[in-house]
């Protein structure tokens, strides 16, 4: 198809520019900014929308910049580097507002825009990640997936990774032992321990590790001062060994006498932007307003990132999580904080909620922090379990909008929406919603 001129109306939740052709067909274009006019050629057709690729930027936005990352045009990870950080924040707020304005629930349509607070920017818009995961292709070159592809673009550093991660990774690339290990590696993770500034490497292996692999890992740890541990995991075998990493929540954000130190296991979940995580925890505490006579249920509680600060203020807290390593970490973190008012259970969330409802349990405050797919099918149980207020932490505004539609049908009332930019240079955005029971 010949290239056509398109005016970019807005960004979708995935960060793609939205336009329409002369026949009204929706067109999605990568690497654009709303208000721009571009010439683009169709590269893929579908029933709901076509996908096009830029050929010429006819009228550029004043907020367009040269992406600082040398891999930007190939790498599929960070899709907003072509605009200023200020404009990124504006667009993320617009994405959320646009999703809610199109909701099938009239209350969300009418109130969400009024309740949407200004987005909280990240203290750092580069080098904020304390963990990265790299794919390894058939050439044994580690990197990130190319855009719209399973092929890899090999890298030697990442603009969003902490400088210590980049330093360690460059040293790894120079080691023959690392190249030998990559022959049997599907992907790898580099995790920074923020408190010690040391690195743990987790290799997702194609087979069980052998003595030679262990030998190579010890050679790497001897050669690279930042590299503290090398672990292996894969299909049919668990993580070989277990490292405990830790980070701190500042006292001023959680109103404690001293910072809270929380730990998590290698391979377990932890927020990648720890500076912004402190702001997230502070926001949840402000929204929940938990007091010493209130009970709390924390669903998808992870390592207790929200549970432990909440339990400082609550009468009691029950945390539920489906991942074993996370529950182990949550229990440890509560014991380390000398808390005696917490209980943590490893259970699938939907099954756990059904059991709690059957047992007639109720909680003053409910906190939920689900994965990207949200919590479909839980609204009725949540409405039964929660008596006063709920704080919903979402990493995907599309699933958040869907779940809020369901929750409002069961009597919840939406009070506040607070976007938090946990992932600068990408279209992803965290949102904290406060709901109450009448």
CB-side exposure of 75: number of CA atoms within 13 Å?
25
Token representation of residue 51: 């996908």
Give the separation between CA 13 and CA 8, rounded to whole angstroms: 14
Chain-centroid distance of CA 303 in Å reads: 15
Name the helix (H) or strand (E) containing 310: helix 307-313
- Dihedral over Cα of 164, 169, 170, 175: its sign: positive
Euclidean distance between CA atoms 384 and 318, whole angstroms: 16
Active site residues: 395
Nearest-5° Cα angle at 411, 410 to 412: 105
- Residue 234, C-beta contacts closer than 8 angstroms, at least 6 positions apart: 186, 204, 205, 206, 207, 208
Asked if 410 and 383 touch (Cβ cutoff 8 Å), the reply is yes
Tokens 């939920």 locate to 368
Neighbour-count burial of 151, counting CB atoms closer than 10 A to its CB (0-12 exposed, 13-18 middle, 19+ buried): middle
What letter would DSSP give residue 370? Answer: -
Structure tokens at 91: 């667009």
Query: In whole angstroms, how far apart are CA 76 and each of 72, 132, 165, 315?
Result: 8, 14, 20, 45
DSSP sequence for 219-260:
HHHHH-TTEEEEEEEBTTB--SS--EEEEEE-HHHHT-SSPE
Q: Report which DSSP code applies to 120.
A: B
CB 127 within 8 A of CB 162: yes
């Amino acid at each position: 198809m010949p290239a056509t001129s398109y005016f970019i109306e807005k960004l979708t939740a995935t960060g793609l520019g939205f336009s329409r052709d002369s026949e009204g067909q929706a067109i999605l274009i990568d690497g654009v900014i709303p208000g721009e006019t571009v010439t683009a050629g169709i590269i893929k057709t579908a029933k709901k929308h076509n996908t096009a690729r830029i050929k010429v930027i006819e009228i550029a936005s004043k907020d367009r910049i040269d992406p600082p990352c040398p891999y930007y045009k190939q790498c599929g990870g960070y899709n907003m580097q072509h605009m200023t950080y200020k404009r990124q924040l504006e667009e993320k707020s617009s994405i959320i507002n646009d999703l809610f304005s199109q909701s099938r629930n009239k209350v969300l349509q009418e109130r969400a825009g009024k309740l949407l607070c200004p987005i909280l920017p990240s203290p750092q818009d580069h080098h904020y990640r304390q963990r990265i995961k790299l794919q390894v292709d058939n050439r044994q070159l580690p990197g990130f997936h190319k855009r719209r592809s399973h092929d890899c673009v090999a890298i030697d550093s990442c603009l969003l990774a902490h400088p210590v991660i980049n330093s360690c990774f460059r040293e790894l690339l120079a080691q023959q032992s690392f190249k030998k290990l990559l022959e049997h590696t599907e992907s790898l993770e580099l995790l920074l321990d923020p408190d010690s500034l040391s690195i743990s490497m987790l290799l997702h292996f194609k087979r069980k590790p052998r003595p030679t692999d262990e030998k190579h890992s010890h050679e790497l740890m001897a050669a690279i001062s930042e590299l503290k541990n090398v672990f292996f995991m894969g299909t049919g075998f668990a993580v070989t060994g277990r490292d405990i990493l830790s980070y701190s929540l500042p006292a001023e954000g959680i109103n404690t006498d001293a910072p809270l130190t929380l730990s998590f296991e290698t391979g377990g979940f932890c927020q990648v932007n720890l500076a912004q995580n402190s702001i997230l925890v502070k926001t949840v505490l402000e929204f929940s307003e938990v007091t010493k006579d209130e009970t709390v249920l924390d669903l998808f509680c992870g390592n207790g990132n929200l549970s432990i600060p909440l339990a400082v203020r609550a009468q009691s807290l029950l945390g539920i999580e489906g991942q074993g390593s996370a529950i182990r970490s949550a229990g440890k973190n509560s014991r380390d904080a000398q808390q005696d008012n917490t209980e943590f259970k490893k259970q699938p969330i939907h099954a756990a909620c059904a059991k709690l409802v059957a047992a007639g349990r109720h909680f003053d405050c409910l906190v939920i922090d689900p994965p990207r797919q949200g919590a479909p099918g839980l609204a009725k149980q949540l409405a039964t379990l929660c008596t006063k207020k709920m704080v919903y932490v979402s990493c995907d505004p599309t699933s958040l909008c869907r779940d809020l539609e369901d929750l409002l049908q069961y009597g919840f009332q939406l009070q506040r929406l607070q976007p938090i930019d946990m992932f600068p240079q990408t279209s992803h955005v965290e949102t904290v919603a406060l709901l109450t029971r009448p």
